[in-house]
């Protein structure tokens, strides 16, 4: 049965689920969620996901939200990207949780405030504070990746897919790859994986759709 992933191209959290789904070879399709016109706040969508967020995965009666839970399901379904030992599996979980709390949470919020919120509502003080938090997270990644190819073990895992989620987007939010050479090399390694696609190519929805 084809898996449905409710998502939209601008969402780095959705990309964290869509990318390993694509690379794992699962049969899936993207279902566009019109986030910017309020679809996630409708009663119909809240029936699908009471949290009112993307991504949401639907597979043969199973409904999962939260990118980390969907990533874990992909590992269980395919046996890929989940580590080879118990130590690696625990370390992967540690990075997925760290990303949700310390990395994507700040990167995604900063990018949203700087690019998708109406200019009159953007607080520079808040943006400055968030950028301080994002740089702290990126420094953690930069230091850890300085002498290794992947975050855990000798191959790519959902730890990498979680932590890279927002770092391929072109909109300005303070991340410049040239400042982070180890992260830059790591992003190139992920992008070189067979079947990799940019978020705007993998999922429907692009800022250019709303320009007119």
| Residues found in the chain | 212
For residue 140, pLDDT beyond 80: yes
For residue 173, pLDDT beyond 70: yes
* Residue range(s) occupied by CATH 3.40.30.10 in the chain: 3-81+197-210
CATH fold for domain 86-191: Glutathione S-transferase Yfyf (Class Pi); Chain A, domain 2 (1.20.1050)
For residue range 15-72, what is the model confidence (pLDDT) as tens digits? 999 999 999 999 999 999 999 999 999 999 999 999 999 999 999 999 999 999 999 9
Evaluate whether 54 touches 6 at the Cβ level (below 8 Å).
yes
Q: Order of strands, edge to edge, in the sheet holding 3-7?
A: 28-32, 3-7, 56-59, 62-65
Q: Rounded to whole angstroms, how far apart are CA atoms 141 and 152?
A: 12
* Residue range(s) occupied by CATH 1.20.1050.10 in the chain: 86-191
Evaluate whether 1 touches 59 at the Cβ level (below 8 Å).
yes
For residue range 177-200, what is the model confidence (pLDDT) as tens digits? 999 999 999 999 999 999 999 999
DSSP letter at 56?
E
DSSP letter at 69?
H
Q: Rounded to whole angstroms, how far apart are CA atoms 127 and 145?
A: 26
pTM to 2 decimals? Answer: 0.96
Evaluate whether 21 touches 14 at the Cβ level (below 8 Å).
no
For the segment(s) 3-81+197-210, the CATH number from 3.90.1300.10, 3.40.30.10, 3.30.70.560, 3.40.50.20 is 3.40.30.10
Strands 62-65 and 56-59: antiparallel
Q: Rounded to whole angstroms, how far apart are CA atoms 103 and 55?
A: 17
Pick the closest to residue 92 from 68, 66, 67, 65 (CA basis).
Answer: 68
């Amino acid at each position: 049965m084809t898996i449905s992933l409710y998502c939209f191209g601008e969402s780095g959290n959705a990309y964290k689920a869509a990318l390993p789904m694509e690379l794992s070879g699962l049969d899936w399709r993207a279902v566009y969620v019109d986030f910017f016109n309020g679809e996630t706040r409708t009663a119909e969508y809240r029936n699908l996901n009471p949290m009112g967020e993307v991504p949401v995965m639907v597979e043969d009666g199973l409904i999962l939200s939260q990118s980390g839970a969907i990533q874990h399901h992909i590992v269980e379904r395919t046996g890929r990207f989940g580590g080879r030992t118990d130590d690696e599996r625990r370390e992967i979980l540690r990075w997925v949780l760290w990303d949700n709390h310390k990395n994507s949470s700040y990167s995604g919020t900063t990018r949203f405030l700087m690019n998708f919120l109406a200019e009159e509502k953007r607080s520079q003080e808040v943006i400055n504070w968030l950028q301080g938090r994002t740089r702290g997270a990126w420094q953690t990644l930069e230091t850890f990746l300085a002498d290794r190819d992947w975050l855990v073990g000798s191959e790519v895992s959902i730890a990498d897919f979680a932590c890279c989620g927002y770092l391929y987007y072109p909109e300005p939010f303070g991340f410049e790859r040239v400042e982070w050479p180890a992260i830059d090399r790591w992003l190139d390694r992920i992008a070189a994986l067979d079947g990799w696609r940019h978020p705007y190519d993998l999922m429907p929805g692009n800022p250019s759709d709303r320009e007119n």
